[in-house]
Structure formats: C-alpha cells, structure tokens
Structure 1
Amino acid sequence: MTQQYKIVVIGAGPGGISAAAHAAELDISHVLLEASPKIANTIQKYQKGKHVMAEPSILPLRSPVAFDAGKREAILEEWEKGLAAKGANIQYNAAVSGIEGQEGDFSITLVNGDVIKAEFIILGIGVQGNPRKLGVEGDDAEFVQYTLDNPDDHKNESIVVVGAGDAAIENAVVLAQNNTVYIVNRRDEFARAKEGNLNLITAAIDKEEVECFYNTNPHRVDLTPGQDKPGTFTLKTASGEVTIPVDRIIARLGAIPPRALVESFGIEFPNSDANSIPVLSSQYESNVKGMYVIGALGGYPLIKQAMNQGYEVVEYILGNDINPADHPLLEAKLAALPFDMEVDEILSMMQQQIPVFAPLSALVFRELMLDSTVHVFEPKAEIFQKNDYTNSFYTILQGNVSIEIGPKPIISGQGNFFGEMSLISGRRRSATILAGDDCIVIETPRRTMIKLINSVEAVKRVLDETFIMRTIQGKFAPNLPIEILQPIVSKAQLHQYSPNEVLFKEGDEADCLHVIRSGSVTVSKRVGDKDIPMTYVAANNVVGEMGILGNTTRSATITATVKTETISIDSDSFNDLLAQSPTLRETMELEVQKRHLQNTQLENDKDTGDILSFLMQQGLGEATDVLLINEDACVGCDNCETACAATHEGTSRLNRKAGPTFAHVHVPTSCRHCEDPSCMTDCPPDAIKRGGLGGEVYINDSCIGCGNCERNCPYGVIQMAYPKEKNSNFWSKMFFNVGEKPGDNQVKAGDNIKKAVKCDMCKDVEGGAACVRACPTGAANRISPENFIEVVNL
C-alpha cells in the first residue's frame, strides 16, 4: 500500500526534527524518514558526555523543539520528548534508495521496497557519508580510527588526533584528561572551529595538556610489533619529520558527502569539487522544484542554523513569506545603504554585482555578510593607507576607489576587490586606497575570507589569478594593459616552500624569477667553505631577476626562512615583459648594480657576513623593530628593564640577560614586532593589534588570558602576568632611592587572571621606547631590518 503525504522529511537530524515537529504542530500531513533506528544519528555517534554547543550565539532559535547547549545525552532526550509532544510521525530504519517525479507528485522508494508519495520533499540527510581516510601509507592499521565513542575507554595512552575541526578539538580535549594527546593541524590556525572550541583547544595547548603540530601533514604509519607501542606515526612538520610512538591515531577529517545519491534525486551541484554544495534559493529550494535542502548538505552544519531552517522551510512550503532568523541582524547591518530594497534583494544584488561572491550559495553569502561590515564612504575618504598593517578584504559594491600607487593612480570600479595582497601575505598594505564618488564597499575579516578560500575552490582560484595579475602589473608593468599581460599571467606558477627549503642554488641555471607572495627568504653566497647570508627579502619583493637579466647562472642561493609561497615567471615570459616595457630593463639593471655592489662589500668582509648571519638566525629578518644591545658599551645596570616595568604597570616586557650574543651584538628577549606576527594567528578575542605606520604589535584590554599568543610566538617574548599595583616613579627610585622599585610590587589578588604582556614599543609614551631612553651609555638601540646591513657595516 502506497503512503501519501503533503511533506516528506528525509533525515532525522536537527533540521529534519525541527521540520517534522513544526509540520506536526500545524497538523500538516507528513512523515519523517530516518535510515537508522534512532533520531540524530550523527549526534548519537558523538563521544559519550560530549558538550554540544548552541552557536551562533547571536542567532535566535526558531523551532518547536527546544535546544540549548549541553551534554549529548540531555539534548537527544529533549528532542525525543519534543517530537513526542508534537505528535510527529516518524519511520525508523527507512533508508531512501531513490526519488522520482516532480512537485506535487514525488515518489520516494525505500530500500525495503516501500513507496511513499509526497507533494514536497525536505532533504536533511547531512553529509557524514564515509569518513575521509588519512591517505598515507599504513592508514589501515588497527590502531587508526575515524570516530570516538567513549573517551573513558582510553587511559594512559599516547594518542594523535588529526584534524582542525570541532570533532577533532573535542576529542583531543576530552582525551587529554587521561592520556598523552597530540593534535595535528594542517594549517597555522583553527579556522573552521566554533569559537567555544577554539577557546578550549588554545587553553589546553597553553596548559600543555595537548601538544599541537601546526602546518603539519601525516606522512606515514608504521607497525612496531614487540615494542611498547603498537605503532609509530611520522609527521611532516614545517621544520622536518617527527615520529611519534602511538597507541592510537584518531583521524577526524570530515566525511565524503553522499553526492552520488543526492545527484540521483535530480539535484545539481555547481562544479565537480567534492566539497561543493547544491545551489539553493534563499528559501532552501533546489533546482528540482518542490525539493528543499536544509542543514549541512546545504552548507549549514551548525545545529541551531539547521533547526531554524527546518522551521522556516515548512513555512515556505505553505506559501508564508516569513523572514529567516538572521533577518533582523542583516537588516541592521544594511540599514545605512541608500537602497529602497528588502534585505534579500540587497544580498542578491550584491552577489550579482560582485563576481568573487557569485559562486556562493545565497545561504553561505548570508553567513559571510553577518561577519562583514558595509561602509558608505565620502569622496576622497581614506579606506586604508600604504604600509598599514590591516588585513581585511574589500569588495566594491558601488562607485569606485583610487589605488594610489606609482605616479598615476589606478581606478578600480564596481564589482572589483582590493586588499587581497595583505590578506594573503600578512604584510603591510602596498598602496593607499581613497574612496571615489558614491563609494560603497564591503569589508570582510581575514578569518572569514581564509575560511572561504579554504572551502570554496572557485573563490581561491579567482583570488590567485588576480593576485598574480596585480603582482606582475604592480612590480613590473603598471602601464601595460591587462590583455597584454594575460599570456604572461597564464604561464606564471605558484610554489610553496617549507622553512629552510632552497628555491634555487648558486650556480644553477637562471630560468625564472620569483615574486614572494608570503613568507620570506634569505640570499646567501658561498665564501670559502661556508654560505654567508647577504640579505633578507620579505614578501612582495622579487628574487632571481639578476640571473635572467644577464642570461647567466645563479649568483646566490635563495632559501625560505619560514613557510613561503612564491609566484615564478619563466625567463621567456620575463623577456617578453621587458620587450613590452622599455623602461623596465633600465630600472631592473640599476637595481641589479646596487645589489652587486652590496654583495661585493659583504663578500670582502667576513665579520659583517657572520654578524648578519647571526641576526637572520635570530629571526630578525621578520622584524619591523628590534632591540639590540652593544655589549661593549653595556654596564649591566638593568635600567632598561626597570624603565620598561615602570612604563608598563610593573611588568617588564624585556629580559636583558636572556637571548643570544654574537661578538658584541646581543639580542635580548624582547618583541621583534614581526611583519607577519605568529602571535596574531589564533587570538580568540582578536586582542592583538597593529598600530599606525610604526607597525607596533600590541595587546589590548580584551585579552582573555588564553595564552595562545605566548605559545605561538617563536621567540619567547610574550609572558602571562597578573596585574600589579601602581608603581613608584622610575626616576625617583633611580636618582633619589625613593619608593619601590618598579616590578617588585605585589600581584593583585581576587578575580584577576593572568593576561598576555609584551613590548608595545611604548606607543603611547612621549619620547619613544623607555628602554632606549633609560640606557646611560647608549648601548641599547632599536633598529629595523632595512637598516641591518648599514648598522652591521658600521
């Protein structure tokens, strides 16, 4: 006997539960089909006692079934009670094998052969599918698993968790209570994690409860029969291979979506990318009229979002024009725009007019806009200034902007974007941007854009191609039209290098040049039996052009100092570029002459090369400002530390005695204010900022004391400290011995927590750095990398 319903909901996850409960309370003919014997199969598989979050916190819940953050067991019980109270019609063990028909007359075939008729279908089947494997040799070993049921089953084990998402973080944190736990993150931040989990993992890493390997990939799993541990796990880290003896490897790398099944229903995907999601209307309707997609399959994996969609989609099916739960938030965000349009109309217009956002589904774009800020600028208003350290991404919705670079500004109009250079490289802004007439731009935070780039291949491809074009145009041919540059751009290639990896060696054939997209490199020459560093080259600069211009072999070795990405242009393409731009060759040859002279001076002075090598080894090539002490002149009075403590509420931000020394040059433990600061990578409250043209990196009052910056800093210049009582005046203590020595006062008690402190270059202090001003012999000085060679020569 064929069953007939107005609405058939497939999948009893959060969205499906909410949709069925709402249909039930409205007395609509419906059935909820669940392939497993219980509701919420994905959540049933969560680890025992797992705390389930209710995010986004700013989004109100719109569902007849309650949901608050809590333990897995309590939430499942609440949902079962809610469904029963509403009288929802549920069929368990009802796996769907096929769907045919059209709106008003769908036929749904179950695996057991039953057929169910529906006027409308709501797909909430999730994307769990088959778990993604490690994809390395040995990943089929018995101690490699892809789920975690009960963490209490594991005690005193050595466990590696692979993944940077919520599941990986939650597994690592709970297992760390009784085990030695490592977590492997392929990137340099937990960009995909919910804020609550981000705070959990950073706190666990800070307390050394979990050891994290950033920028690391699995390499190999080996069995070790007869040893204490059943196997080893070899990782490929930024600094080389690391092998860990393990009892267990838990890979939480997501799952392969059930795309083939969904496509068999007639639903289309925008591309062949395995992670792509169906194109949906703002009301969750797919290309198959009458078939709707909600939850993770539609790109919204968060429980609260899925539950809201379950409620809303039933209303849409009934023809009710209700606004989504996020509507009031977006309405307030877009209120300043001079358009007499509804929120959905404005969002649709934005996607039509800004090509980089066109590949996004309407739902994903709504989420992006919730994180973004819309600016309406007056003409000539400065959006950002050259050498600023901001790194957000801008798109032009209306009007145009003037890119102030070179003798003639470049005008960029509606639909274009800017700011991607700093977004990708992490470096300071390369141009000043001024608003034109009727200028409206959308500013999207770096974290949101990085997440988008990592998840939507089409967006990454557009940014990569544009970055290459603008780099070549800006560096070599600002006056050449794009159509002439296009063949050169199409042949350019992207390369990635690990720290200490060689781009090319002295004596190699000069077959290309490299534009450094992110990271940095050192230039070294062979002098006698050792390599002597000549200079340091940061992102947005060029290396390798000397050999091409002279049609010779490489005159130096180029080595990545940190994880580095470059754009290479082959010699033929560069020669074509020289032929198109007559002044380019002259400019480049002058630069080459300058470098030859500098290199010759360094080659003739072994001591200078040794000191420069020492400075580069201390990471000073990444710095914008560094404190150096001439030990020949230093008398060890520690006035520098005392003055720092007096200026910064009793806590000195430098340690004079600590740090390495070469010859008479001492590098104390003090912030370098790096061009691309590691401390800013994972700051949950976004408390670490850059200031003005000085580029000082400082921590504001919103610090929550997670310690993530302290852990991420490779130079040990950040410390966690309690606030201290008001200090006596430094000068009174030094000259008249009156009062308490700064830094010796007692720590405040009560509810205070340790917060991160570091050098801020005395940015708010008249006269500049207190450590330098307090030095009686002039031994302490702050310099920038561009002055290193000059200082070393002196």
Structure 2
Amino acid sequence: MMLALLLYPLRKRLAFMQGRAGLTEPSSLHPVVDPNICVGSGSCARACPEHAIGLIDGKAHLIAPGKCIGHGACAASCPLDAIKLVFGTEKRGIDIPQVSPEFETNVPGIYIAGELGGMGLVRKAAEQGRQAIESIARKRGDGGLDVVIVGAGPAGLSATLNAMHHKLRSITIEQEDDLGGTVYHYPRNKIVMTQPVQLALVGTVKMTEVMKEALLEFWHGIVTRHRVKIQFGERLEKVQRTDDGFHVHTSRGEYRSRNVLLAIGRRGTPRKLGVPGEELPKVVYRLIDPEQYRGRQVLVVGGGDSAIEAAIALAGEPDTEVLLSYRGQAFGRIKEKNRERLAQAEAGGRLKVILKSTVETIEPEAVVLRTESGSERHANDAVIVSAGGVLPTPMLKEMGIQVETRHGEA
C-alpha cells in the first residue's frame, strides 16, 4: 500500500509529461488490454522486447506508446487472451485493406502481405508473404501462372522463395531497380529492427539489429545462391478479373494468372507539399546518400521515423547545416531510439528543430517556413520531403478491394 502511494505521483507525473510531449500515439499495430480480463500476471511485460508495456495497479498498460513497434509478443504471451492488437487510435485512423486470416482480400484470388496490409516489421512482413503463398499453393490449377507477386521487399522476397519451394508457376515484378522495398529507400547506415525469421529454402535467419546495407547484402546473397528471378524495373498498372483468374497489366506486358499477391508497401506515391517552388530540382522525396549533402544547408520536412533518421544522418556529415520542420507539436510516433538520437543531435548543435511549422514557399537559394510567430526565411541548398506516401487506394478500389479506416480496431 505504501509503495503504491509512493509510486502514484511518479506515474501521474510520467503520464503528464508524456501527454505534454505528445508521446501517447503508437505508430503502428499496438496492444489494447481488456482490464476486465487481465489478472496482472506480468507475462506481457516480460515478453515485450521494447519494454513498452508494464503493470500499473495490477493491470497491464501500454506505458510507452512511442516504443511500441508492433511485435505482438505481449498478446502471444497472455494466458487469458486479454490483449488484442489493433491499428490506429481514436485520434489517428489508418487505412487498411480488408484481408482474411489467409491474407486474401475480399476479391478471391488477390492477396496482400506486408506493409500494405499495415505490417511494416521485416519479420512479420516476411512471415505474411510466406503464409500467403501457403494459401495459394493449396489451390493451384492448370493453365497460366499460379501467382504474380508484386514487390520484392521482405514480404515479396519471402513469398517468392516459398513459391519456388512449392514449385508454383510464378513471376515476381518490382518497380525499382533493386530489391528491398521500403528498406531500399532507408537512409544509409539505418539500423533495421528485426527478429529471427523463417524463410523457405533458407531456414531460420537469426538477426536482431542490423544495418540496412547488411540486410540488403544478405538478401542479395539469397537471390544469388537460390537463383531467384525478379523482374526489376517493371511496374504494376492494372489487374483485371477474368473467368479463370486475372489479367495482370504491367509497364512491360501482360500476364494471365490465377492469383495475385500484392506486397507493394504503403509508400505508393510520395506525399507532396503542394507549395510554390516544389518543382525545383533541389527538392527530393528520399535520402539515399547523406554524403552528397556535405557542407550544404538542408531542410528535412516530416515528423516520422524516416524524416528523423534522414535529419540525423545528414547532421553527421561535416559542415552540414540541418533544419527539421514538422507541423506537429511533438514527434509522437517515432521509435524511442530515434527520439534519443534526435535529442543528442539537437543538444550538440548539429541540427535545429522547428515544431508547429509548415513550408510556405521554396526558392532557389532559400525556404520560407510558416511558424507560430510568422514567416521565417532560411538560406537553403536542398529540401528533403519525408512526409510519407499516398496509399495506392484508387488502384486497390479499381480492383474491387475494400479499404477500411481503423480507429483502434483489430
């Protein structure tokens, strides 16, 4: 009783500080605990590798939403099924295509795996790709392809390997010139958070924290050793239903297939700012090599992990001045490690953060930001917009796929 009384002010202050800082919005799939079922066993807290969940007054709570990245270990460990994993919150909805437990959409024969379905974790995306192919393999038929796999990220590569394992007639197309999906677009030296993953033809791959480059090199090794065929530079354009499957139209041709697996991620088309000057050549929508900005004045726009990681990477380059602009009042949806690294970079004077700001105009040698105190003009050589992507909802709806906006729903 005495301990509870001593801890109450601390808990209250912690909740106040988190609320004030805007750190109460989980970034992706996250747990919701039913207090009427929870008995406070603590198994969820022990299972969480990110220490995002803990016990308060004998009940489990998501005590550090910013740390949660959707592992789902808490729900798996609960002996009473008191935890469900949900997408979105009351404040922030997330568009998720409707899929079955077999990862099939409401359109029979069209499957979705990985980031497009709301799961961006490497391990989970790879597992979804593998399981989707298991479902497809159970109903293979005669004539045409068994499956067209769209995308060569974690989900698409895993699906391709499993299709080879089951000897399915399949092709894999990728609009980029290399594999990796969203990982391919990460800044150089970004740490990719992952866990052991099961890949067909390969077995169990044990990785915890690995650099982007090391992970891509590992995947390239798999592609080479197992002679995986991926048709790079080929973009999906349309999927038309037929009596016995689908006609899949791409930038290079047309295929007849019984099934289609979409593993294309959520990037879609980069979200643009819609401001004067955005068409200038100094404006880009991803950071590939921080070194090319060495000694320059760079503006990074965005408030997610990609924007933070880009700003931190740029700040590590000699003589580079970095300005980070975000429209929100706090970085409420970034990983805890990124939050710590950002604080260190800002404290060291390597970058400047301007919250509650938006880009007003972009000029050849400057940018104008709209802030609470008015317009601010800053000298500028380059602008990197990391404001996320526009979900390819029109294409999904054209296929007949239903898309739901989740507000804290499983």
Q: What TM-score do you get using the length of structure 1 for normalisation?
A: 0.31
Query: Does 1:123 pair with 2:262?
Result: yes
Choose which of 140, 143, 158 in structure 2 pairs with 1:18: 158
2:368–2:378 CA contact under 8 A, matched in 1: yes
Residues 528-561 of structure 1, C-alpha deviations (whole Å, 9 max, x = no match): xxxxxxxxxxxxxxxxxxxxxxxxxxxxxxxxxx
What does residue 137 of structure 1 align with? 276
Q: Greater relative contact order: 1 or 2 (C-alpha under 8 angstroms, separation 6 or more)?
A: 2
Counterpart residue identity of residue 149, structure 1: I
CA distance in 2, matches of 1:4, 1:132: 37
2:298–2:383 CA contact under 8 A, matched in 1: yes
2:301–2:386 CA contact under 8 A, matched in 1: yes
The 5-angstrom pairing of residues 546-557 of structure 1 reads none
Choose which of 359, 362, 367 in structure 2 pairs with 1:233: 367
What does residue 222 of structure 2 align with? 82
What does residue 259 of structure 1 align with? 393
1:162–1:184 CA contact under 8 A, matched in 2: yes
The alignment-based identity, stated in percent, is 25
Shift of 1:40: 2.3
Shift of 1:17: 0.8
User: Aligned in 2, Cα 1:122/1:45: closer, same or farther, shift over 3 Å?
Assistant: same
User: Aligned in 2, Cα 1:219/1:112: closer, same or farther, shift over 3 Å?
Assistant: closer
Counterpart residue identity of residue 288, structure 2: D
Shift of 1:233: 1.7
1:181–1:211 CA contact under 8 A, matched in 2: yes
Shift of 1:193: 1.9
CA distance in 2, matches of 1:80, 1:26: 21
What does residue 197 of structure 2 align with? 61
Shift of 1:78: 0.9
Shift of 1:170: 1.4
What does residue 341 of structure 2 align with? 200
User: Aligned in 2, Cα 1:114/1:142: closer, same or farther, shift over 3 Å?
Assistant: closer
CA distance in 2, matches of 1:124, 1:32: 10
CA distance in 2, matches of 1:7, 1:52: 33
Choose which of 243, 248, 253 in structure 2 pairs with 1:113: 253
Choose which of 274, 289, 293 in structure 2 pairs with 1:150: 289
2:367–2:379 CA contact under 8 A, matched in 1: yes
Residues 602-651 of structure 1, C-alpha deviations (whole Å, 9 max, x = no match): xxxxxxxxxxxxxxxxxxxxxxxxxxxxxxxxxxxxxxxxxxxxxxxxxx
User: Aligned in 2, Cα 1:92/1:135: closer, same or farther, shift over 3 Å?
Assistant: closer
Counterpart residue identity of residue 171, structure 1: A
CA distance in 2, matches of 1:243, 1:92: 42
1:233–1:244 CA contact under 8 A, matched in 2: yes
What does residue 246 of structure 1 align with? 380
Residues 227-267 of structure 1, C-alpha deviations (whole Å, 9 max, x = no match): xxx2x222222333322111222111112232222222221
Residues 684-716 of structure 1, C-alpha deviations (whole Å, 9 max, x = no match): xxxxxxxxxxxxxxxxxxxxxxxxxxxxxxxxx
Count of residues in Structure 1 that have an aligned counterpart in Structure 2: 263
CA distance in 1, matches of 2:257, 2:268: 26
User: Aligned in 2, Cα 1:78/1:109: closer, same or farther, shift over 3 Å?
Assistant: same
What does residue 178 of structure 2 align with? 38
What does residue 101 of structure 1 align with? 241
User: Aligned in 2, Cα 1:241/1:21: closer, same or farther, shift over 3 Å?
Assistant: same
User: Aligned in 2, Cα 1:35/1:247: closer, same or farther, shift over 3 Å?
Assistant: closer
Counterpart residue identity of residue 109, structure 1: H
CA distance in 2, matches of 1:50, 1:220: 31
1:25–1:87 CA contact under 8 A, matched in 2: no
2:247–2:254 CA contact under 8 A, matched in 1: no
2:149–2:171 CA contact under 8 A, matched in 1: yes
Counterpart residue identity of residue 124, structure 1: A
Q: What TM-score do you get using the length of structure 2 for normalisation?
A: 0.57
The 5-angstrom pairing of residues 639-718 of structure 1 reads none
Query: Structure 1: which 5+ residue stretches go unaligned?
Result: 224-229, 271-275, 277-358, 367-794
CA distance in 2, matches of 1:268, 1:199: 39
CA distance in 1, matches of 2:345, 2:211: 20
Structure 1 SS opposite 2:152: coil
Structure number with larger C-alpha Rg: 1
2:245–2:256 CA contact under 8 A, matched in 1: no
Residues 655-699 of structure 1, C-alpha deviations (whole Å, 9 max, x = no match): xxxxxxxxxxxxxxxxxxxxxxxxxxxxxxxxxxxxxxxxxxxxx
